[in-house]
């Protein structure tokens, strides 16, 4: 496909680069000039400050201040310093600003025009640009101290005109640098245009623009994450959604997919290049559904296309729905049980057995309140406390008793409450399921305590447990002792481990049916 007419893309790019380089260099020259001017003024201010400090520390100045006619001594001294340092004025004055010296003798005895407050207060680093009797100038004002007391002030300054003259001497150097940079930019642009002409096969701008617009529009219009891998499993293209879901760094292009920081199971799976349909994988903080298929063009195998969908929110909603449904069933059953108990109390009262009715009601209340009191007193994280109470009710309806170990303590601020809910909630769910499948008595035990610099959470159950050879595999994505039902089974323990690791903790299986989670204790 050739050009229809007009300049080639390479020539247009050369002209554009030359224009841009010219504009940028002119801008840089202007910015350099402003920077040099500010630097010159700053250097002048430092110089004025140094001269003022030297004069203020001179014994001659202190001696002259004790003279009945200070100006007779200070005026010649100030003029000598002014001539030796090529400054425009050297003024010695009282702390109130009445001049003892000035380049214009008629100004002696008059008030100094400028800011003297900081120096009069003892500040020996004050400089400013101010318009005085000699015009705008860069000046320094410092105190003359006698035993720590401010007895006079010294101001030294140089006019803006003199500063500008010094700056003008640097103009040829700036212009020479700009000219050299412009020549180098033009040469670089010419070489780039020659390379571009070969690389684009002399395609015109319209063809290239249309190709880019279509490809870019398709890439960003896709709502799923998109990852293109070549035949060597190296990343060739990745869209914004894929970067977000996988938390990819900016420099992934050209790197193998299993070397870009993905979790090992996901990186290894993608590097195999095999077809995959809706596999669930875990990243650092997300649950993603992964599909992978071959990419072919003209019958030639190019690599694979990977699509990613965020399953995190859906998983959270499903979990919340299951929790709410469990709470609703529990409340319904408890309401039915409460009605039976209320009828019993009423019947006992009608039979004239008020004492038995009171004893029955108090016993039921004590049983219901015991676990709640233990949870509230031992678990200082409200979200976890509410979770345990709710799980206890749900477990009771399934014939499983949820017990809280004596001395259980979960301190506040241990970790993000959402991660704690993930850890405790998944472990309790698994334990209740396992206990329900076991023999009587069916129970789940939850305990926690502070051990050195960590908090240890313990959850055990009366279920059959996990075989020792499966202890480590139990934390892998997809492992489950329950039949798969399309609801993402096999994620619970993997999510628990990921949440614990986010806070520098660890989780392990102790024995066959006890999980222990250790989280670092955050000291205030």
Q: Is the pLDDT of residue 489 over 60?
A: no
Locate the domains of the chain by residue range: 1-221, 224-310, 314-520
Nearest-angstrom CA–CA distance, 94 and 155? 11
**CATH level 2 (architecture), domain 1-221:** 2-Layer Sandwich (3.30)
* C-alpha–C-alpha distance, residues 462 and 457, integer Å: 17
Whether residue 143 has pLDDT greater than 70: yes
Tokens read off for 73? 């001594």
Alpha-carbon distance 306 to 275, whole Å? 9
Compute the distance between CA of residue 359 and CA of residue 138 in angstroms, rounded to an integer: 94
Q: Locate all alpha helices (DSSP H) within 247-353, ordered by sequence.
A: 264-272, 312-350
Q: What does the block give as tokens for 410?
A: 């979960």
The reply to whether domains 1-221 and 224-310 share a CATH topology is yes
- SS3 of 22, please? helix
Determine the average pLDDT of the residues in 228-255. 86
pLDDT digits (tens, 9 = 90+) for 446-480: 999 888 788 999 999 988 888 777 767 777 765 66
Q: How confident is the model at residue 487 (pLDDT cuts 50, 70, 90)?
A: very low
Q: Which two tokens stand for residue 480?
A: 């489950």
Categorize the per-residue pLDDT at 156 as very low, low, confident or very high, splitting at 50, 70 and 90. Answer: very high
Q: Model confidence over 379-403: pLDDT tens digits?
A: 888 888 888 888 887 888 788 888 8
Q: Which 3 state secondary structure label does DSSP give 290?
A: strand
Instruction: Say if CB 445 and CB 457 are below 8 A apart.
Output: no
Check residue 201 and give its pLDDT.
Answer: 56
Give the residue carrying structure tokens 């529990």.
330
Distance (Å, whole) CA 109 – CA 116: 16
Report the chain's mean pLDDT, rounded to a whole number: 80
Is 21's pLDDT higher than 80? no
Architecture of the domain spanning 314-520: 2-Layer Sandwich (3.30)
pLDDT over 60 at 326, yes or no: no
User: Helix 417-437 and helix 492-502: axis angle, to 10°?
Assistant: 150
* Residue 59, pLDDT above cutoff 80: yes
**8 Å CB contact between 363 and 344:** no
Q: Residue 421 — pLDDT band, cuts 50, 70, 90?
A: confident
Parallel/antiparallel/unpaired status of strands 443-451 and 401-404: parallel
Per-residue confidence band for 416, with pLDDT thresholds at 50, 70 and 90:
confident
Location of structure tokens 């293209």: 237
H, E, C per residue of 125-148: CEEEEEEECCEEEEEEEEEEEECC
- Name the maximum alpha-carbon separation found in the chain: 122
**According to the CATH classification, is domain 224-310 in 3.30.450.20?**
yes
Please report the pLDDT score of residue 152 as a whole number: 93
174 confidence band (pLDDT: 50, 70, 90) = low
Among the ranges given (34-43, 100-109, 404-413), the one the predictor scored with the smallest mean pLDDT: 34-43
- Residue pLDDT, tens place only, 430-439: 889 888 888 8
């Amino acid at each position: 496909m050739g050009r229809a007419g007009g300049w080639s893309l390479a020539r247009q790019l050369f002209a554009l680069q030359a224009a841009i380089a010219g504009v940028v260099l002119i801008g840089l020259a202007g910015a350099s000039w402003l920077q040099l001017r500010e630097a010159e003024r700053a250097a002048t201010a430092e110089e004025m400050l140094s001269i003022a400090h030297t004069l203020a520390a001179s014994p001659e100045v202190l001696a002259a201040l004790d003279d009945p006619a200070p100006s007779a001594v200070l005026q010649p001294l100030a003029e000598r310093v002014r001539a030796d340092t090529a400054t425009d004025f050297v003024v010695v004055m009282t702390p109130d600003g009445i001049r003892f010296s000035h380049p214009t003798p008629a100004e002696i005895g008059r008030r100094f025009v400028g800011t003297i407050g900081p120096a009069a207060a003892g500040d020996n680093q004050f400089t400013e640009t101010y318009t005085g009797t000699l015009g705008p100038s860069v000046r320094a004002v410092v105190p003359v101290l006698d035993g720590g007391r401010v007895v006079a002030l010294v101001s030294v300054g140089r006019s803006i005109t003199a500063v500008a003259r010094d700056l003008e001497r640097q103009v040829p150097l700036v212009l020479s640098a700009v000219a050299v940079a412009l020549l180098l930019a033009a040469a670089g642009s010419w070489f780039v245009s020659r390379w571009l002409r070969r690389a684009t096969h002399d395609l015109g701008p319209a063809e290239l623009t249309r190709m880019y617009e279509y490809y870019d529009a398709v890439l960003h219009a896709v709502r799923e994450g998109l990852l293109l891998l070549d035949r060597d499993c190296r990343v060739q293209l990745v869209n914004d959604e894929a970067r977000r879901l996988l938390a990819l760094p900016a420099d992934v292009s050209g790197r193998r997919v299993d070397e870009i920081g993905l979790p090992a199971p996901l990186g290894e799976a993608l590097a195999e290049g095999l077809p995959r349909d809706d596999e669930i994988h875990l990243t650092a903080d997300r649950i993603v559904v992964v599909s992978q298929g071959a990419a072919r063009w003209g019958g030639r195998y190019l690599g694979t296309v990977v699509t990613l969908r965020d399953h995190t929110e859906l998983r959270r909603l499903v979990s919340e729905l299951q929790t709410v449904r469990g709470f609703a069933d529990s409340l319904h059953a408890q309401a039915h049980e409460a009605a039976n108990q209320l009828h019993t109390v009423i019947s006992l009262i009608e039979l004239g057995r008020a004492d038995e009715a009171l004893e029955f009601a108090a016993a039921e209340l004590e049983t219901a309140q015991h676990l709640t009191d233990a949870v509230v007193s031992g678990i200082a994280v409200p979200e976890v406390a509410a979770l345990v109470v709710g799980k206890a009710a749900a477990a009771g309806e399934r014939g499983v008793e949820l017990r809280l170990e004596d001395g259980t303590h979960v301190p506040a601020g241990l970790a993000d409450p959402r991660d704690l809910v993930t850890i405790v909630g998944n472990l309790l769910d698994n334990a209740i399921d396992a206990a329900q499948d076991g023999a009587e008595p069916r129970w789940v035990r939850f305990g926690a305590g502070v051990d050195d610099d960590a908090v240890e959470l313990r959850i055990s159950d009366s279920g059959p447990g996990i075989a020792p050879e499966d202890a480590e595999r139990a934390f892998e994505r997809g492992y489950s002792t329950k039949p798969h039902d399309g609801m993402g089974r096999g994620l619970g323990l993997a999510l628990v481990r990921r949440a614990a690791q986010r806070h520098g903790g660890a989780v392990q299986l102790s024995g066959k049916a006890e999980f222990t989670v250790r989280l670092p204790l955050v000291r205030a």
